[in-house]
Structure 1
Amino acid sequence: MTNPVLFKTLESVNDKKIAVATLNSEKSLNALSLEMVELLYSQLVSWQDDDSIAIVMLEGAGEKAFCAGGDVVQLYNAAKEAGSGNVAQDVETFFAKEYKLDHLIHVYKKPILLWGHGIVMGGGLGLLAGASHRVVTEKSRIAMPEITIGLYPDVGGSHFLNKMPDGCGLFLGLTGASINAADAKYVQLADHFVSADQKQTLVEELLLINWGNTVALNRQKLTDLLKTFEDNSKSQKPVGNIAKFVDFMTALNNCDSANSAIVDILDFKTDDKWFNKAQASLAHGSPLSAKLIFKQIKEGQSLTLASAFRMELGLSVKCASDGDFPEGVRALLIDKDNSPSWKYATIHDVPDDVVDSFFVSIWDAKSHPLNSL
């Protein structure tokens, strides 16, 4: 048995160390299992309390992916066993622990350099979003494609989608569109672009820095080093897609209902292949999820980070018990017929009261699994 997460420390030129965590499930594109989440959380807490650790680096094994998402097949099996209308304890446990890990990364007391190379989707984006130093490469492919499996952009999406330029978060959430490194920087999901072939040199340079005990100074030292590598990588940076549609995104942000936003996206006329693919994904996705996503992003505008995760936990367990999540996973990953039978045929068939019911917490404040955030 190979360890699902590998941990090591590297000695720098002084008495400080670089801690490295590697998601180690290359065959599954480093998809997050419950065991991986638990191992990461425990080790990050330990490193945060270790005065010898200056910074932490998170990476994925192999060249294809940092992390392609959560292990949704595992969640599907739990939801099916519980039966429709019932909350599966395994589903609640996984999402609660995953969101605690994501929240820890957001509030971590030391710099975290996240190497976002290759596929970064779903749960992988939850890890990336909160890191202090988010690095993308020419091979980065980032998306929150949950609408295709009857879910919604969770793992803090209620928070980070609202930090994007007007309309961009709503568009990416509704369409699950895949974005590259240039797009990621434009929508503030990444801080630095570094070409993939510079990784080993970057690690070697990290070990030559005279790290100290002051977190702010260590953050600045890491930022300065990454800026140098970014300057040397400019020629390999891809051309972005989303900035070309800034006027459309701004107009989309002014939509006052889910139906109008969704119709505006689907009816937009363009021969741009990237935008057309996004339209197709929305058209094929769960109508219930689409309505949930619109309300999620609107609700998220007024929530703290911790409150956003608490809201999302309720949404996630309800998507598994009462939503389209089991059917979406079945169609895409179990039977692979790519023909989901959604609960509602179109967005116009989804009752507003059903959407609203997903946002009513099944816990009170004291019993909420994330009340400690």
Structure 2
Amino acid sequence: MEERLMTAPVLFDEVAAAGGKLGRITLNVESTLNSLTLEMVDLLQSKLDAWRNDDSIGAIFVEGAGEKALCAGGDVQALHASAVETPGGPCDYAETFFAREYRMNYTLHTYPKPIVCWGHGIVMGGGLGVMAGCGHRIVTERTRIAMPEVTIALFPDVGGSWFLNHMPGSAGLFLALTGASINAADAIYTGIADRFIASEHKSSVIDALLAQSFDDDVNKNHARVRHALRPLSEASEGAKPEGQVEPHMATINQLCDGDDIHSIIDNIMAIDTDDKWLAKARDGLAHGSKLAALWIHRQMTETRHASLREVFQAEIQLATNVIRYPEFAEGVRALLIDKDRNPQWSYSSSRDIPESILNGFFNAPWHQNPLADL
């Protein structure tokens, strides 16, 4: 029994605090950097639903097994298999995965009880979707965040259309188009994390949470969580890394100040610099799908003033259309299956893409949106 539980893809525990309980969630597939599968998404949704209505659970702590990652994203190889099995769709596994993952993300964003996320190590794609939705998001000196979907012809989903659009200036668009990697300081500056706490204090974080007397007053429980985390955040200030986004904001805003998406792509591709972070961002877009760059830009533009519910409804529509189109399967093949890093993209230039092709990704592929009931 014990061995079976330890090999479960998600571990759940209820730990007695000074008052009430702390629910503990551990993404538990170290071999894939805790990448999410449909089974894991369903387990998370079920437990979140149960704990929402359990008055004994005062707060929740989310972490990833091991030291390498909270979560490196969704299980992209499973999505690829679903896409190539039925070209043109419907791609049953992938489409079900996206719909249930986004529903789980929406649950996190709207959850009444405090959820503390330990965003340590790699936090990418679907992992960032988990962290961004939590009410109390901790990053460490080893946090590495990215949404590199342009490199596999996807788009920053799992609520990316929401949190990227809420970043300062053009930071969100730049990160979405380039897949640039950011650290803990960047995460706090851009608003996708709340606190920096050095990783050596993790056990102290747990102890401080367990020292709280949680009850059925949700607002007071949020205050208790802040009270527990604040001293550890203050004690960690000296270990915080230097950020990349804030120092580059003037450049980012200038690069993204184009007449249209094509000129923005031109600006980024023309970067001539010894700055390693900017050069790597440029290369991310250069090697990525130009078709994906267009749908990323349009998705962010169309959801700029959307509600959270509308964001996820728009994302499931785009994701469904993307997964049915061959560009995604080719991107995953080149990067993760054959690993030749030589994707044969449909178009070599964004200006070659017919408007009708791009428009097709923004038309509903079904009679009713699977997330219409959010």
TM-score bracket for this pair, using the shorter chain length:
over 0.9
1:4 aligns with 2:20: no
The share of aligned pairs that are identical, in percent, is 47
Question: Partner of 1:6: helix, strand, or coil?
Answer: strand
Query: Which residue of the partner structure matches residue 74 of structure 1?
Result: 78
CA drift at 1:209: 1.2
Q: Is the 8 A contact 1:21 1:58 kept in 2?
A: yes
Q: TM-score, normalised by structure 1?
A: 0.97
Distance in 2 (alpha carbons) for counterparts of 1:174 and 1:344:
16
Question: Partner of 1:30: helix, strand, or coil?
Answer: coil
1:58 aligns with 2:59: no
Question: Partner of 2:164: helix, strand, or coil?
Answer: helix
Distance in 1 (alpha carbons) for counterparts of 2:227 and 2:274:
40
Distance in 1 (alpha carbons) for counterparts of 2:179 and 2:90:
26
Range 212-221 or range 93-102, more displaced:
212-221
CA drift at 1:250: 2.7
Query: Which residue of the partner structure matches residue 267 of structure 2?
Result: 264
Q: Is the 8 A contact 2:171 2:252 kept in 1?
A: yes
Query: Which residue of the partner structure matches residue 104 of structure 1?
Result: 107
Query: Which residue of the partner structure matches residue 94 of structure 2?
Result: 91
Distance in 1 (alpha carbons) for counterparts of 2:259 and 2:326:
24
Q: Is the 8 A contact 1:311 1:361 kept in 2?
A: no
CA drift at 1:174: 0.2
Distance in 2 (alpha carbons) for counterparts of 1:99 and 1:323:
22
Q: 2:191 aligns with which of 188, 193, 201?
A: 188
Distance in 1 (alpha carbons) for counterparts of 2:259 and 2:156:
20
Q: Is the 8 A contact 1:150 1:323 kept in 2?
A: no
Structural mapping, 1:255-294, within 5 Å: 255-294=258-297
Q: Deviations over 1:334-365 (max 9, x none)?
A: 1111100011112121222211210111134x
Query: Which residue of the partner structure matches residue 368 of structure 1?
Result: 369
Q: Is the 8 A contact 2:321 2:365 kept in 1?
A: no
Distance in 1 (alpha carbons) for counterparts of 2:313 and 2:257:
27
Q: Is the 8 A contact 1:133 1:191 kept in 2?
A: yes
Q: Is the 8 A contact 2:149 2:156 kept in 1?
A: yes
**Letter aligned with residue 370 of structure 1:** L
1:13 aligns with 2:13: no
Distance in 2 (alpha carbons) for counterparts of 1:219 and 1:356:
43
Distance in 2 (alpha carbons) for counterparts of 1:191 and 1:313:
27
Distance in 2 (alpha carbons) for counterparts of 1:353 and 1:303:
24
Distance in 1 (alpha carbons) for counterparts of 2:279 and 2:157:
24
Q: Is the 8 A contact 2:320 2:365 kept in 1?
A: no
**Letter aligned with residue 227 of structure 2:** D
Q: 1:138 aligns with which of 133, 138, 141?
A: 141
Query: Which residue of the partner structure matches residue 249 of structure 1?
Result: 252
Distance in 2 (alpha carbons) for counterparts of 1:316 and 1:88:
11
Structural mapping, 1:150-189, within 5 Å: 150-189=153-192
CA drift at 1:284: 0.2
Question: Partner of 2:371: helix, strand, or coil?
Answer: coil
Residues matched between the structures, number? 369
Q: 1:225 aligns with which of 228, 242, 246?
A: 228
Range 334-343 or range 262-271, more displaced:
262-271
Query: Which residue of the partner structure matches residue 334 of structure 1?
Result: 337
Query: Which residue of the partner structure matches residue 29 of structure 1?
Result: 33
Distance in 2 (alpha carbons) for counterparts of 1:125 and 1:192:
15
Q: Deviations over 1:314-335 (max 9, x none)?
A: 1112111125110011011111
**Letter aligned with residue 282 of structure 1:** L
CA drift at 1:109: 1.1
CA drift at 1:259: 0.6
Gaps of 5+ in 2: none
Distance in 1 (alpha carbons) for counterparts of 2:147 and 2:355:
24
Question: Partner of 2:50: helix, strand, or coil?
Answer: helix
Q: Deviations over 1:63-86 (max 9, x none)?
A: 000000000100111110102x22
Gaps of 5+ in 1: none
1:44 aligns with 2:48: yes
Alignment RMSD, CA only? 1.1
Query: Which residue of the partner structure matches residue 308 of structure 1?
Result: 311
CA drift at 1:307: 1.0
Q: Deviations over 1:245-298 (max 9, x none)?
A: 111223345434211111111223321101100100100000100111111111
Question: Partner of 1:190: helix, strand, or coil?
Answer: coil
